[in-house]
Amino acid sequence: MRLYASCVYIFLYFPIGIIVLFSFNAGRHASQLQGFSTQWYGKALSNPFVMDALQTSLLVAFTSALLASLFGTMAAVALQGIKGPVRTVFDMLIYVAVMIPGIVIGIATLIGLVTVFDQLNPVLASIWPGDGTPPKLNMGLGSLVAAHTMFLMALVIIIVRARLSGMDRALTEASSDLYATPFGTFRQVTLPLIFPAVLAGFLLSFTFSFDDFIIAFFVAGSETTLPIYVFSSIRRGVTPEINAIGTMVLAVSLVMLVAAQILLRRGEKKSK
């Protein structure tokens, strides 16, 4: 079993290690290692197209993670008070949202948004008071944020609900016995206890949104995120600059994942 596990991990991480290694290549050929150099990191960070794509990815990831954390936490707290078959149905919908392939979510979101835009654009044009061109809803930053938020909410709900399930109910009951309002109980008791899980959900949501290509490819419109830029670039050939971008994205993702794991473990220790 150890040999089998080792082979699996080598199969998974060896290609990633190759990308990291060749990102430090001194030559221009991505498949020929010609010395050690960090020049490609500097060129990637000085490339205006890369920086524009990075800015878009950061903006979308932060906004989506913030909205998903807010709405996901509200939904998790609300679902915690629901019992019986209704809760089973909601649980099923949440887990299905996580298990659905990204390409299905991307296509469904694209069709849904296009349908809504086709219905709303004529209405906006008819009520537009000015003489100029009326505003028109199109794919772009808004559709990216909406699509990622809908997908990431399910992830936040699962993480926060796991923390709520391990929380001592006597604390909220004692708060109610002391005549605290429901909002006061949530603000002073529940939120401080689940905050590590909420923050971990935010970090994981940020990572998923920042790394996402499939859903963004369908709903980005004219916008270009960093994964879309990388995909467009490798169609013309893999370069050390692309390897450098991939390595930096990998590093950011690992930092976010480790931070989220540390927060979840600290939250579990505090609850005990």
CATH number at residue 249: 1.10.3720.10
Structural domain includes residue 17 = no
pLDDT at 27: 74
pTM of the shown model = 0.82
97-131: string of b/e by CB count within 10 Å (b at 16+)? beeeebeebbeebbeebeeeeeeeeeeeeeeeeee
Give tens-digit pLDDT for 101-132.
888 888 888 898 888 888 888 888 787 776 66
Q: Domain range for residue 133? A: 53-271
Structural domain includes residue 11 = no
Structural domain includes residue 199 = yes
Instruction: Name the one residue in this structure whose structure tokens are 């019992």.
Output: 83
176 within 8 A of 185, measured Cβ to Cβ: yes
pLDDT band at 2; cut points 50, 70, 90: confident
Q: What is the C-alpha separation between 272 and 269, in angstroms, rounded?
A: 5
Give the pLDDT mean for 243-263.
84
Residue 236 predicted with pLDDT over 80: no
Give tens-digit pLDDT for 157-184.
988 888 887 776 777 767 776 767 777 7
11 or 176, which is more confident: 11
Question: How many structural domains compose the chain?
Answer: 1
Residues whose CB is less than 8 angstroms from the CB of residue 139 and which lie 6 or more positions away in sequence, other chains included: 110, 113, 219, 220, 221, 222, 223
Structural domain includes residue 29 = no
| Mean pLDDT (the chain, rounded) | 83
Q: What is the C-alpha separation between 247 and 240, in angstroms, rounded?
A: 10
Structural domain includes residue 209 = yes
Structural domain includes residue 34 = no
pLDDT at 268: 62
Structural domain includes residue 190 = yes
Structural domain includes residue 252 = yes
Residue 271 predicted with pLDDT over 60: no
Q: What is the C-alpha separation between 188 and 194, in angstroms, rounded?
A: 11
Which range in 127-131, 185-189, 190-194, 261-265 is most confidently predicted, on average pLDDT?
A: 190-194
